[in-house]
Amino acid sequence: MNDVVVGATRGPSHRTQDAVPVEDAVSFKELKKQPLYASRIKIHPKDVQGTFRRIKWAVLVVLLGIYYLVPWIRWDRGPGAPDQAVLIDMPNRRAYFFWIEIWPQEIYYLTFLLILGAFGLFLATSLAGRVWCGFTCPQTVWTDLFMWVERKIEGDPALEEVFATPLVKARQIRGQKQRQRGWKLYSWHAREVECIGKGKAAKPYEFGVKVSIATTNRRCKGGQFVLHAKACPGNPYDGHTLGSVIEETQALTGREIERAYADKGYRGHDAPKPLRVFISGQKRGVHGQIKRELRRRSAIEAAIGHMKTDGHLGRNFLTGRLGDQANAVLTAVGYNLRLILNWLRALLRKIIDAILVALSQPPLANPAS
């Protein structure tokens, strides 16, 4: 049986006396070529004018002014304390609001403010309707600004090209959901920033790019030196990076790695010699010297902490993927140089102490003739 014939009226039907209507026939293949959906028509919201619109613009200017200007206000809290007037310091678990400093155990202050804000929202909604959603909600404020910019640049190719990337980022931020799959935008100025799950109660997530660090297991006289540092974009599984890290470390040092010790995140690794890789908490095959060396695996955490605080591993100021790679390598180099300088400083101190002791000794008396 050939293609089924479907009726598709192209003109007025022809009727004859005592006969059924006759229509032009179109094959099913030709019907499939016809578009089923109309082309997308861009919808523009109407440009509203009036008293309430002017009030809304005034509220928008005030709120955006607070958003952009408050971080630049300074407040002197003494040496060693941040001088930003309003600051939520997540790494140190503190919040600063001008002269007020809130610690984690003072969460009742934040609870009181949230309860007060909730009651204020209920009261304003009861008296004046949805003024929060219509005037001061962050989504409303940013959507109004977004539509105003879009309306101003439309029809001007030069302005559309300038604002193309920011508008794409704004649409991405406005449309992405908390648990959506696929790529998400976490930083306006750095698209390569990723959300890395830490699995820790104190810090469940970190935002940036994953970095792999390899150090010596045995502590040298100068300290625990970094042998390899590499940025791993794309948030790969830790175990899938171990094979390349071992090969690159052997190429850098010119020595074959006898044993490698890693944390539990490296289970299911792709190392070339899997029996020579020992995971934290492993019991099978761990005895004697291997057991002692495995206990020293956690010493790398201190080295990583120093690279985050003393170096720039905690915050990267270089842009792009190349900036991430350069920052990881330069941070490791700086860490090794600080260890060498500390060792030289300690050696110089011993030399100076020995010289001072030698100079402070009284000269021997000449024997009597």
For 320-355, write each residue's pLDDT tens digit: 888 888 888 888 888 889 888 988 998 899 999 889
Residues 210, 171 share a domain: no
Residues 198, 73 share a domain: no
Among residues 175, 210, 245, the one where a domain terminates is: 175
Residues 277, 219 share a domain: yes
- Kindly provide the b/e burial profile for residues 260-272, where b requires at least 16 CB atoms within 10 angstroms of the residue's own CB: bbbeeebeebebe
In this structure, is residue 230 part of a structural domain? Answer: yes
Residues 130, 74 share a domain: yes
pTM of the model: 0.55
Residues 315, 263 share a domain: yes
Please give the residue range of the domain that contains residue 215: 194-343
In this structure, is residue 357 part of a structural domain? Answer: no
Residues 224, 119 share a domain: no
In this structure, is residue 350 part of a structural domain? Answer: no
Please report the beta strands in 27-174, taking only residues with DSSP state E, as ranges in sequence order.
86-89, 94-97, 100-102
Question: Is pLDDT at 73 greater than 50 in this prediction?
Answer: yes
Question: Is pLDDT at 39 greater than 80 in this prediction?
Answer: no
In this structure, is residue 366 part of a structural domain? Answer: no
Average pLDDT over residues 127-132: 81
In this structure, is residue 292 part of a structural domain? Answer: yes
Residues 237, 106 share a domain: no
Among residues 121, 143, 175, the one where a domain terminates is: 175
Q: What is the mean pLDDT of the chain?
A: 78
Residues 211, 92 share a domain: no
In this structure, is residue 30 part of a structural domain? Answer: no
Instruction: State residue 31's pLDDT score.
Output: 59
Q: How many domains does the chain have?
A: 2
Instruction: State residue 299's pLDDT score.
Output: 80
Instruction: Using alpha carbons, select from 50, 7, 53 the residue that is nearest to residue 28.
Output: 7
Residues 132, 241 share a domain: no
In this structure, is residue 5 part of a structural domain? Answer: no
* pLDDT tens digits along 82-94: 888 888 877 777 8
Among residues 114, 140, 175, the one where a domain terminates is: 175
In this structure, is residue 339 part of a structural domain? Answer: yes
